[in-house]
Amino acid sequence: MRPLLRPGPSDDDSTSIYAQHFDPIFGRRFAERSLDSLVVVRGARVLDVACSTGIFARMAAHVVGPIGKVVGIDPSPAAIEAARRIDVTSIVEWHNWEGLQLPFGDETFDVVVCQHALHRFNDPEAVLADMRRVLAPGGRLGIMTWGPIEENPAFAAELDAIVKAGLDQSGVVEVLLDAFAYHRVEDLRALVQGAGFTDVSCRTVRMLAALPGVAQWVRVYPSLPPLSRAWRDCSQQTRIQFLSRATELLRPFEHDGVLRVQASSRLVVARAPVARAPAG
């Protein structure tokens, strides 16, 4: 069994587009908020779990400097290869995740982060407990998940267009909604506390995302998971219906050629207990 339920971008085309569009627009901005809240400092040892194309890991590496250490790990070989290509200075250690547990020793990191990937785990609490295992006593955990899809209109428009075009027959809707499954603050608190963390806090992080114009952005959607696979197999008429509906829904958010939409996430910050409980 793979450690994650679903990989993120899993082929060269989708990882390239993900790094080009998603990372700078959403990934970088939310990573900045996490870095600030986790008080990542020079010399820290940081692990980015389910790192995808590695935007958080690269940003953390610039903060911790050469005396620190940053590791990014993901089950998608294509995502890790893309991360290595982007990280031309090789300041991050990149790892393919092939086992059930994190392949690191106990208490080897000061900060462990998982950005918008909690929904990919088969057993989130078990993986959170493993994150606790690799954290030093008192080490910091940062988990960021998407807020409800209603607070993320760029993705809500995609969902509506998928349904209207009939692409939901391929299971795309279920996969897309999974990404927004962990938005309830009380559920996130209970999950993290159940994995043995202390000092758990959770807050909403909002930002105004500046996207390319509607005509360009609606063509980015189909190149990214979960839509990319279904898009390759659908008819031309279905594609036209999708693009038309997505354009209709997003046009009111476009001003002077820029698509400006709100984006909302939940940020959980917690600590590994100083007095260790068994990780299992």
The pLDDT tens digits of the residues spanning 60-73 come to 999 999 999 999 99
- Whose tokens are 């209709």? That residue is 248
Rg from Cα positions in the chain: 19
Q: List, for residues 1-41, the tens digit of each pLDDT value.
A: 444 545 455 556 677 777 877 888 888 889 999 999 999 99
Better-predicted residue by pLDDT, 87 or 61? 61
Mean pLDDT of the chain: 89
Pairing verdict, β 254-255 and 258-271: antiparallel
Tell me, what's the pLDDT at 276?
Answer: 56
Q: Residue 169 pLDDT more than 80?
A: no
Section 175-195 average pLDDT: 94
What does the chain come to in residues?
280
Helices marked H in the chain? 12-17, 28-38, 55-64, 77-86, 124-134, 153-164, 172-178, 185-194, 214-220, 227-233, 236-250
Q: List, for residues 100-119, the tens digit of each pLDDT value.
A: 899 999 999 999 999 999 99
CA dist., res. 81 & res. 58, Å (int): 14
Q: Residue 91 pLDDT more than 80?
A: yes
**pLDDT > 70 fraction of the chain, expressed in percent and rounded:** 93
Q: Residue 247 pLDDT more than 90?
A: yes
Residue 126 — very low, low, confident or very high, per pLDDT cuts 50/70/90? very high
- Whose tokens are 């450690």? That residue is 3
Residue 202 CA from chain centroid, whole number:
17
Tell me, what's the pLDDT at 23?
Answer: 85
CA dist., res. 17 & res. 21, Å (int): 6
Tokens describing residue 207: 């930002």
Tell me, what's the pLDDT at 12?
Answer: 63
Q: Residue 200 pLDDT more than 90?
A: yes
Residue 215: CB atoms within 10 A of its CB come to: 14
Tell me, what's the pLDDT at 59?
Answer: 94
Tokens describing residue 185: 């603050």
Q: Residue 229 pLDDT more than 70?
A: yes
Q: Residue 221 pLDDT more than 90?
A: no
Tell me, what's the pLDDT at 78?
Answer: 87
Residue 211: CB atoms within 10 A of its CB come to: 20
Q: For each of the domains in the chain, give its residue range(s) and CATH number, in order of start.
A: 12-271 (3.40.50.150)
Tokens describing residue 1: 């069994």
